[in-house]
Amino acid sequence: MPHTLAIALIFLSSLLAACQIATPTETTVATPEIFTPTTAPTAPIVATNTLVNTIEPTAVPATAEPSAEPSATATITPSPTPTNTPIPESAVDSIKLLPVLEGVFSRPLYLTHAADDRLFIVEQAGVIRIVKDGQLLEEPFLDIRDRVASIQLEQGLLSVAFHPDYSTNGRFFVNYTDLGGTTQLSSFLVTPDNPDQADAKSEIILLSIDQPYPNHNGGQLQFGPDGYLYVGVGDGGSANDPLLNGQDPSTLLGTLLRLDVDHSDSIYAIPATNPFVDDDSRRNEIWAWGLRNPWRFSFDRLTGDLFIADVGQNLWEEIHFQDAISQGGENYGWNILEGSHCFLASECDTEGLELPIFEYNHQEGCSVTGGYVYRGHEFLTLYGNYFLADFCSGKIWRIFQDPDGSWSAAPLLDTDQVISSFGEDVNGELYLLDHVLGSLYQLQP
């Protein structure tokens, strides 16, 4: 096999070690300073890079040109008006991985786009690379290795999100752990004279979150269909949630945040529709809580539905679903639950907790890597299926919502890849990254 057993054991031992960190000398988590506007924020900017792609209607052949002197009985049949027909959706039963670039990245963690044909790949040490016209550009888009800590398995430059109006304002956002282990949410600007080069000196730190341990940093950033920036934050780390952050909404740890980054260039605001905006006992930034380590989450670009992959502790990995009409405030259960199971207890009170739509145990893997619902147009047999993988085993599954609203899941492919992330290009085509081999693959039927 391409990956030796030794490599697998090294990564598994690193992952397990990351869950057994010694208790720090200081266990309190500082509350970050934020700006809450005295008046409700203005209506959100609608994200331009979440527009639904539609199938181009089949061209209707032009009717024959009538002769110069048509007969009295000749008629011209009007062409039908083209309409957008919904794409049929069905559960897929097989996939394959097509190598795009192999062995060219260093510990890649994330892939996304900037509403154009380029692919942006995040490398853990603090670099963002560009794949343009199928080729890896020699010069990085951004290099902030001088301020990123990435020695620990779950630290580093963890993701990037481009502003919905990036083509005009040049703003993008990153999530990284700094040299002191603190999570930093920062904005940067592209250089005005080179679209393939960011200005590393343009950083503005919008939010800092103290991390009591080096693992469970979350790290995902994505703009939602509402134009707000969503931020995944882990429970603070160690093992078993020793500080009980998962069920403590007075802290930002163990949550999914929702921020208005258009209030100003240097500070964020709280959306007036956040669920806890009028509750001083809970952090107003929170959109959802009860999460252990939401390493990857994504929005369905067609429906706006949200899928959250939450990495489990010892037994269960889980996928949660949040309907696009949700008003937020969901509690996903950690550390009362691990998956749909009581955690370290034979019985527990599950009232008010959201159960996962899919889970698998540690006989099939050890760390879930969430993906996307396929909404591309190159492989329509994949349409409507959500894909996920396991970092340790390399197994890939699909989840599909059946017509009756229930969810079905099936394993599709056993691979030797160490799958750190899926990614979506501007057209909705899906890719995945191998963290060890430094390779990029496209998901195909």
**CATH number reported for the structural domain that contains residue 212 in this entry:** 2.120.10.30
* 54 has pLDDT over 80: no
Question: Where in the sequence is the domain holding 138, given as residue range(s)?
Answer: 98-363
Q: Which of 35-49, 71-85, 119-133 has the lowest mean pLDDT?
A: 35-49
Q: Helices marked H in 68-130 — which ranges? A: none
Q: What's the mean pLDDT in 116-145?
A: 98
Give which of 209, 213, 347 is closest to 283, Cα–Cα. Answer: 209
| Per-residue model confidence (pLDDT) at position 18 | 41
Round to whole Å and give the CA distance between 394 and 10. 15
Q: Helices marked H in 267-405 — which ranges? A: none
* 223 has pLDDT over 50: yes
Residue 271 lies in a domain: yes
Give the Cβ contact number of residue 348 at 10 Å: 14
User: Residues 6 or more apart from 84 whose CB is under 8 A from it?
Assistant: 54, 55, 57
Using an 8 Å Cβ cutoff, are 118 and 89 in contact?
no
Q: Torsions phi, psi of 143, nearest 5?
A: -135, 105
User: Residues 6 or more apart from 245 whose CB is under 8 A from it?
Assistant: 29, 235, 236, 251, 253, 254
pLDDT in tens, 173-203: 999 999 999 999 999 999 999 999 999 999 9
* Mean pLDDT, all residues of the chain: 86
Reading across the β-sheet that carries 171-177, which strands appear in turn?
157-162, 171-177, 183-190, 198-209
Using an 8 Å Cβ cutoff, are 158 and 109 in contact?
yes
Using an 8 Å Cβ cutoff, are 214 and 152 in contact?
yes
As given in the structure block, the two tokens for residue 404 are 């009756």
Using an 8 Å Cβ cutoff, are 298 and 372 in contact?
yes
Residue 142 lies in a domain: yes
| Per-residue model confidence (pLDDT) at position 263 | 86
| Per-residue model confidence (pLDDT) at position 265 | 76
Round to whole Å and give the CA distance between 96 and 203. 39
Residue 60 lies in a domain: no
SS3 380: helix
Round to whole Å and give the CA distance between 434 and 105. 9
SS3 169: helix
CA atoms within 13 A on the CB side of 260: 21
Q: Which of 43-52, 210-219, 299-308, 420-429 has the lowest mean pLDDT?
A: 43-52
User: Residues 6 or more apart from 138 whose CB is under 8 A from it?
Assistant: none
Round to whole Å and give the CA distance between 259 and 278. 15
* 208 has pLDDT over 80: yes
As given in the structure block, the two tokens for residue 261 are 């980054």
pLDDT in tens, 309-368: 999 999 999 999 999 999 999 999 999 999 999 999 999 999 999 999 999 999 999 999
- pLDDT category at 30 given cuts 50, 70, 90 is very low
Residue 359 lies in a domain: yes
Residue 63 lies in a domain: no
Q: Which residue has the tokens 């509690």?
A: 331
Round to whole Å and give the CA distance between 98 and 347. 46
Round to whole Å and give the CA distance between 168 and 416. 41
User: Residues 6 or more apart from 386 whose CB is under 8 A from it?
Assistant: 300, 307, 319, 371, 372, 373, 374, 398, 399, 400
Round to whole Å and give the CA distance between 391 and 395. 8
- pLDDT category at 35 given cuts 50, 70, 90 is very low
Q: What's the mean pLDDT in 433-443?
A: 98
Q: What's the mean pLDDT in 125-150?
A: 98
Residue 249 lies in a domain: yes
Round to whole Å and give the CA distance between 122 and 130. 9
User: Residues 6 or more apart from 157 whose CB is under 8 A from it?
Assistant: 109, 122, 123, 124, 125, 126, 127, 128, 144, 148, 150, 174, 175, 176
Residue 165 lies in a domain: yes
As given in the structure block, the two tokens for residue 338 are 């691990």
Q: Torsions phi, psi of 187, nearest 5?
A: -110, 150
Tally of domains within the chain:
1
Q: What's the mean pLDDT in 252-267?
A: 93
Residue 388 lies in a domain: no
| Per-residue model confidence (pLDDT) at position 83 | 54
- pLDDT category at 248 given cuts 50, 70, 90 is very high
* 78 has pLDDT over 90: no
- Rounded to two decimals, the pTM is 0.84
| Per-residue model confidence (pLDDT) at position 79 | 47
